[in-house]
């Protein structure tokens, strides 16, 4: 059994090129021209193929190594003749020929020794930043078609490639982008658990939304100082007890007012008729964090409720979700959704639209900030919001106006705006 050494081929002017991937492992049977490793320079990434076939006996390099021409990649065991001898015999047979001369003399045949096979490097032009971005998403730059000059791959090309690879049919992802090099258990102890039923149901919906809807997310900071002062001063006239009303109730009231002023946000796209459906009702969805997973039930006719009634409806609906007693129909027929992380923490994030709705409002945790107003330093309560919307219906200018309007509804004149 012969042993063959596979070396780094001629890479031109490149020196000390980093190994970013090892594509084979010891004991693996490989074919000629099968990719062995991936090298990355400042300008491109390169896959180095094998010049022979056989079984990998020993791998001599690791990820992170710096290599040059002639460095040993690995050793192969081969049960048959080497590829050079095979090619030499085949070429000799083609080259050998009989030449008839006038006197029927036979001229000695000339043997031509074939050149040793050389590795054909597969290359793709992309910046290190783009290649890193592709690796993080589990995509191979060499498989991506570049739209930039000379076929150079951009970050947008990577995003489009990922979207083209992920298709959803019947609630299942047809093609899996992510590819593991080694099983998780090779690196330590692991534990397998079933995906909760709620997450199994919502997962395909989230994938469909993210891949099919062109999301745009705008962020805004709203001064809610006066609103918070009012909310904390509420009390029962007869008992004298404090009335606790969640800020989400005030935000819901303000959102309904904004939906009335900007009807494109209270709409859906009808793909069958290729038309926009404008809703005349105001049913708000609320993301509820439960032990079973995230649920988004709807509260109907919020425009007809008072601040207190909205707060009570939120408590009741959240309880039904946690106890799994809510009717399935209550997850459908919404105008727009609110996803609030204010009770946990964080500021800005990118909420994913809940189709067939076209927008979602993300709420962060409010915080105090010192501001200079009328020549004085004062402390103000600031609420961070994140608004994601479908760019097919809503453009950036309208999204900005929506945020400004919402800020006014929750600002110092909130009582007048909301008619509290």
Half-sphere exposure of 56 (CA within 13 A, CB side): 22
Q: How many CB atoms lie within 10 A of CB 167?
A: 13
The three-state secondary structure class of 388 is strand
Distance, in Å, from the CA atom of 333 to the CA atom of 300, rounded to the nearest integer, reads 9
Which position among 215, 219, 292, 391 bears the catalytic label? 391
Region for 337 from its dihedrals, namely left if φ exceeds 0, alpha if ψ lies in -120 to 50, beta otherwise: beta
What residue ranges do the domains of the chain occupy?
1-80+119-125, 127-192, 214-418
Looking at domain 214-418, its CATH architecture is 2-Layer Sandwich (3.30)
Distance, in Å, from the CA atom of 216 to the CA atom of 350, rounded to the nearest integer, reads 9
- What is the DSSP-derived secondary structure letter of residue 242? B
Residues with Cβ within 8 Å of 411's Cβ and at least 6 positions away in sequence, in order, are 222, 223, 224, 226, 227, 417
What are the two backbone dihedrals, phi and then psi, of residue 99, each rounded to the nearest 5 degrees?
A: -115, 120
Q: Where are the alpha helices (DSSP H) in 331-388?
A: none
Helix (H) or strand (E) holding 162: helix 155-165
- 283 in catalytic set: no
CATH number listed for the domain at residues 127-192:
4.10.320.10
Tokens 């095979």 locate to 86
Looking at domain 1-80+119-125, its CATH architecture is Beta Barrel (2.40)
Q: Structure pTM?
A: 0.59
Distance, in Å, from the CA atom of 27 to the CA atom of 42, rounded to the nearest integer, reads 32
The b-or-e profile of 23-40 (16+ CB within 10 A means b, else e) is ebeeeeebeeeebbbbbb
Residues with Cβ within 8 Å of 162's Cβ and at least 6 positions away in sequence, in order, are 137, 139, 177
What are the two backbone dihedrals, phi and then psi, of residue 353, each rounded to the nearest 5 degrees?
A: -60, 140
Q: State the burial class of residue 101 (Cβ atoms within 10 Å of its Cβ: 0-12, 13-18, 19+).
A: exposed
- pLDDT tens digits for the chain (420 residues)? 678 899 988 877 678 888 887 888 888 988 888 888 888 776 666 788 888 888 998 999 888 888 888 899 999 887 555 444 555 555 555 545 443 444 444 434 444 444 444 444 556 677 877 887 887 777 788 888 888 877 888 888 888 888 777 654 444 445 555 555 677 888 899 999 888 888 888 888 888 899 889 999 999 999 999 999 998 888 766 777 777 888 999 999 999 999 999 999 999 999 888 899 999 999 999 999 988 888 999 999 999 999 989 999 999 999 999 998 999 899 999 999 999 998 898 999 999 999 999 999 999 999 999 999 889 999 999 999 999 999 999 999 999 999 999 999 998 877 666 654
């Amino acid at each position: 059994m012969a042993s063959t050494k596979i070396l780094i081929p001629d890479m031109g002017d490149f020196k000390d090129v980093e190994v970013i991937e090892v594509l084979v492992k010891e004991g693996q049977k490989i074919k000629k021209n099968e990719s062995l490793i991936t090298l990355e320079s400042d300008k491109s990434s390169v896959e180095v193929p094998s010049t022979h076939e056989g079984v990998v006996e020993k791998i001599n390099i690791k990820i992170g190594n710096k290599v040059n021409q002639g460095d040993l990649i690995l050793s192969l065991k081969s049960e048959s003749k080497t590829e050079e001898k095979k090619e030499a015999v085949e070429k000799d047979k083609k080259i050998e020929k009989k030449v008839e001369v006038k006197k029927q003399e036979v001229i000695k045949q000339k043997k031509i020794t074939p050149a040793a096979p050389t590795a054909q490097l597969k290359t793709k032009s992309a910046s290190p930043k783009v290649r890193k971005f592709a690796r993080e998403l589990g995509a191979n730059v060499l498989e991506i078609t570049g739209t930039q000059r000379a076929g150079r791959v951009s970050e947008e090309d990577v995003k489009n490639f990922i979207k083209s690879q992920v298709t959803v049919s019947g609630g299942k992802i047809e093609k899996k982008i992510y590819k593991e090099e080694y099983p998780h258990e090779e690196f330590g102890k692991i534990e397998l658990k079933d995906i909760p039923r709620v997450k199994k149901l919502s997962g395909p919906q989230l994938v469909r939304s993210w891949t099919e809807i062109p999301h745009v997310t705008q962020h805004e900071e709203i001064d809610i100082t006066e609103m918070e002062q009012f909310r904390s001063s509420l009390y029962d006239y007869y008992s004298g007890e404090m009335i606790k009303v969640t800020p989400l109730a005030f935000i819901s009231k303000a959102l309904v007012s904004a939906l009335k002023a900007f009807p494109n946000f209270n709409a859906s796209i009808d793909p069958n008729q290729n038309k926009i459906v404008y809703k005349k009702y105001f049913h708000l969805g609320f993301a509820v964090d439960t032990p079973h997973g995230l649920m988004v039930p709807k509260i109907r006719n919020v425009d007809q409720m008072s601040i207190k009634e909205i707060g009570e409806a939120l408590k009741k609906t959240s309880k039904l979700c946690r106890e799994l007693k809510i009717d399935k129909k209550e997850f459908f027929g919404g105008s727009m959704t609110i996803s609030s992380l204010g009770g946990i923490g964080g500021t800005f994030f990118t909420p994913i639209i809940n189709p067939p709705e076209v927008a979602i409002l993300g709420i962060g945790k409010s915080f105090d900030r010192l501001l200079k107003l009328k020549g004085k330093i004062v402390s103000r309560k600031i609420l961070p919001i994140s608004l994601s919307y479908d760019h097919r219906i809503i453009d950036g200018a309208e999204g900005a106006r929506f945020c400004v309007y919402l800020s006014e509804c929750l600002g110092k004149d909130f009582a007048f705006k909301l008619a509290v």
